[in-house]
Amino acid sequence: MENKVTKIGVLTSGGDAPGMNAAIRAVVRTGIYNGLEVFGIMRGYSGMIENDIVPMHSRSVANIIQRGGTILKTARCKEFFEHEGRKKAHANLKKLGINGLVIIGGDGSFRGAHKLSQEFDIPCIGLPGTIDKDIAGTDFTIGFDTAVNTAVEAIDKIRDTADAHDRLFIIEVMGRDAGYIALHSGIATGAENILIPERKTDIEELVNGLLEKERRKKLVNIIVVAEGDRGAEDVAAIIKERVPSADTRVCVLGHIQRGGAPSCMDRLIASRMGYSAVESLIEGRYNVMIGIVNNKMHYTPLEKAVKAKQKISEDWLKIVKILAS
């Protein structure tokens, strides 16, 4: 790889996450402070292939730290999965003299970055930007804290109406392959049941638990379901058949969890990670994902970051079982 990075590109890829703008801001301003030229790559890898790349200045990132979404836009790019697509992307980078990249996204984004780096010898740094918190090598991902707090606020409001009507609410939160949003929001709101894809749902146990609660006259129940488990509608259909006396309602929170102003925590970790990404490129620490573990910066090789998934510990599952009884 080239000895010295002088021009860097920053992009956001995959699903948007609150705090991405804070990370972009940190990358741009840290780069400029250190005398680097910084370019924003629009719409992720699609913009790299289509040469939709713009110079970034300090004022380009003014007044964005509090905004959700991403000013660079984001997209999923099938063409980048192919070698020819990556070759076209690299040619555009080379024309502009960009010799370092910061990629803000999830494991799919890191997989693309790793291939680009391997094939064309360009230094890449990954920042974990995903609300799912499903990447190993960091205690938190950019956007997770905001998404969980959004879910908590919504579930708290739903509990008020559930309590008023003695209803059972099944609330679906995001998390196709990871149950962290469901787990954290469910514990924080006192959910009676939490269903996550990491653990096989025992429907008999769920139904028997609801029948037992009904005998105790506990009629207000909240079940939080990660979308990757069974889905709220499927769970509701089973409960309506097996526990017909329960006044059951379904609420799918959906994309509300992706939007909104990032929390203080997401702004802080995004800023730290963005700053560290540029420092890593300057210091010659290439092809790593930057995370925060035990409040310290942690560097995971990109090839490991795309293979390892954050695992939910048994302690969390035990807490759920005890506190929801």
- Beta-carbon contacts of residue 193 (< 8 Å; ≥ 6 apart): 186, 206, 209, 221, 222, 223, 224, 324
Per domain, the residue ranges of the chain are: 7-143+262-305, 144-258
Four-way CATH pick for 7-143+262-305: 3.40.50.450, 3.40.50.720, 3.30.70.270, 1.10.579.10: 3.40.50.450
* Main-chain dihedrals φ then ψ at residue 103, nearest 5 degrees: -110, 120
Reported pTM: 0.93
Q: Where are the alpha helices (DSSP H) in the chain?
A: 20-33, 44-49, 83-96, 107-120, 144-165, 180-188, 203-215, 232-242, 264-283, 302-305, 314-323
Tokens of 97: 């003299």
Active site members? 132
Question: What class is the 144-258 domain?
Answer: alpha beta
Q: Output the tens digit of pLDDT for each of the chain's 325 residues.
A: 556 999 999 999 999 999 999 999 999 999 999 999 999 999 999 999 999 999 999 999 999 999 999 999 998 888 999 999 999 999 999 999 999 999 999 988 999 999 999 999 999 999 999 999 988 899 999 999 999 999 999 999 999 999 999 999 999 999 888 889 999 999 999 998 899 988 888 888 888 888 888 888 877 889 999 988 778 999 999 999 999 998 999 999 999 999 999 999 999 999 999 999 999 999 999 999 999 999 999 999 998 887 666 677 778 878 877 876 6
Domains 7-143+262-305 and 144-258 share a fold: yes
Give the integer Cα–Cα distance in Å for 235 and 171: 10
Q: What is the spatial distance between Cα 271 and Cα 274, in angstroms, rounded to a whole number?
A: 5
pLDDT of residue 309: 67
Structure tokens at 69: 């979404």
